[in-house]
Amino acid sequence: MLLKFKNVVLNLLKVPPEPEAPAGSPGSVQVFRAAPNFYKLSLIRWGLKQLSALIAIVVALTVWHLFGDQIPSGVRHVVILHLILPALFVMFLPFTYALVWLDYQMRWYIVTDRSLRIRSGVWRVREMTMTFANIQQITIHQGPLQRLLGISDLQVTTAGGGGHSPVEQGMKHRAGESMHLGFFHGINNAEQIRDLMLDRLRHLRDTGLGDPDEIHHEEPVASSVESPLLGVAHELLTEARALRHAFR
């Protein structure tokens, strides 16, 4: 049933097929997906939203039953509208549940030896491609529920995406305002993917795109990588200081 729903929705919304691998060697392509527990977490959030809606409907019906005769006519129309909500709530319940499942299904995280590509979304499809040469920071975030379910989010920041706290960056991501942030949501092998990216970043710098010593780990679940431009800036700053001392 869900597979039929998936085919209908994808055809109706013209959702593009599975994304192609980004630039890189064919043998280096690795595809990662959200973990099954991410789906469970999504269902928990969906259930809480449905419960909140149900409580609001029950409160509206209770108010109508107890104080219907005393409610002004203008407000009464609003309460009458709530009488229709139970039927709509039950009608859309299977549909919203299927959308949660579909959101889980339509997530791809593809990594090659040169770049990565992230695709997610159904109603609003969001696809990002990042090259390792531009990556500045790789961070793992894990909330209490995620920790309980053994999943986490891996955040990739490219040049121009720094200078914000994780909370601000998360808000920008949800609002769709920043194209400098990429998220591997709900994965159960975040450290493996992080280490894979760091290894490929070191390889790029070993081939002349940067200094491998610039790669460092700040904490067990967070890693950052300085961009080649930042290394050049440090060198210019060092030379400027040397010139200043020479002319004193």
Span 92-108, pLDDT tens digits: 898 899 889 999 999 99
* CA contacts within 13 A on the Cβ side of 105: 16
Is 28 domain-assigned? yes
In which band, very low, low, confident or very high, does the pLDDT at 4 lie, cut at 50, 70 and 90?
confident
pLDDT at 203: 84
How buried is residue 186: exposed, middle or buried, by Cβ count under 10 Å (0-12/13-18/19+)?
A: buried
Rounded to whole angstroms, the Cα distance separating 92 from 86 reads 10
Pairing of strands 222-225, 135-141: antiparallel
Can you read off the two tokens belonging to residue 164?
A: 């914000």
Is 17 domain-assigned? no
In which band, very low, low, confident or very high, does the pLDDT at 18 lie, cut at 50, 70 and 90?
confident
Instruction: State how many domains the chain has.
Output: 1
pTM over 0.75: no
pLDDT at 77: 58
Is 8 domain-assigned? no
Does residue 15 register a pLDDT over 50?
yes
Do the Cβ atoms of 32 and 184 come closer than 8 Å? yes
- Backbone phi, then psi, for 56, in 5-degree steps? -60, -40
26-30, 139-143, 179-183, 211-215: least confidently modelled range: 211-215
Do the Cβ atoms of 175 and 165 come closer than 8 Å? no
Range of the domain at 167: 23-248
Q: Is 117 helix (H, G, I), strand (E, B) or coil?
A: strand
Is 14 domain-assigned? no
Is 141 domain-assigned? yes
